[in-house]
Amino acid sequence: MTGPALLNNRSPAGRKAFTVGSRPIHKLTHSTRLLAPTEYLNRHDRAAQYIHWVIFKNLDLHHDENWWEHKPPPVLENDHIALLWNFTIQTDRKIDANRPDIILKDFRQKSCLLIDMTVAIDINVSAKTYQKLSKYKDLEIEISKMWNLKTKTIPIVIGTLGMTAKRADYYLAQIPGNPKMAEVQKIVLMGTAHVLRKVLCM
Please, which residues bridge with residue 23 across strands? 20
- The answer to whether residue 27 is domain-embedded is no
- The answer to whether residue 2 is domain-embedded is no
Q: How far apart are CA 145 and CA 46, in angstroms?
A: 32
Q: How far apart are CA 31 and CA 146, in angstroms?
A: 37
- The answer to whether residue 172 is domain-embedded is yes
The reported pLDDT for the residue numbered 25 is 58
- The answer to whether residue 11 is domain-embedded is no
Q: How far apart are CA 129 and CA 127, in angstroms?
A: 5
The reported pLDDT for the residue numbered 37 is 73
The reported pLDDT for the residue numbered 29 is 67
**Is the model's pLDDT at 9 over the cut of 60?**
no
- Mean local confidence (pLDDT), 84-93: 94
Average confidence score pLDDT of the chain: 86
The reported pLDDT for the residue numbered 27 is 57
- Mean local confidence (pLDDT), 165-178: 95
Nearest to 163 by CA among 51, 4, 26: 4
- Mean local confidence (pLDDT), 65-94: 94
- The answer to whether residue 60 is domain-embedded is yes
What is the domain count for the chain? Answer: 1
The reported pLDDT for the residue numbered 63 is 80
**Is the model's pLDDT at 137 over the cut of 70?**
yes
- The answer to whether residue 83 is domain-embedded is yes
Q: How far apart are CA 53 and CA 69, in angstroms?
A: 9
**Is the model's pLDDT at 183 over the cut of 90?**
yes
- Mean local confidence (pLDDT), 130-159: 97
- Mean local confidence (pLDDT), 9-28: 47
- The answer to whether residue 4 is domain-embedded is no
> Which tens digit of pLDDT belongs to each residue from 93-112?
999 999 999 999 999 999 99
- The answer to whether residue 25 is domain-embedded is no
Asked whether the beta carbons of 8 and 14 are under 8 A apart, the reply is yes
20, containing H or E segment? strand 19-20
Domain extent for 188: 35-201
- Mean local confidence (pLDDT), 152-157: 98
The reported pLDDT for the residue numbered 34 is 57
The reported pLDDT for the residue numbered 22 is 47
The reported pLDDT for the residue numbered 1 is 53
Between 85-89, 136-140, 194-198, the lowest mean confidence (pLDDT) is in 194-198
> Which tens digit of pLDDT belongs to each residue from 24-51?
555 566 655 656 578 889 999 999 999 9
**Is the model's pLDDT at 187 over the cut of 90?**
yes
Nearest to 168 by CA among 185, 193, 189: 185
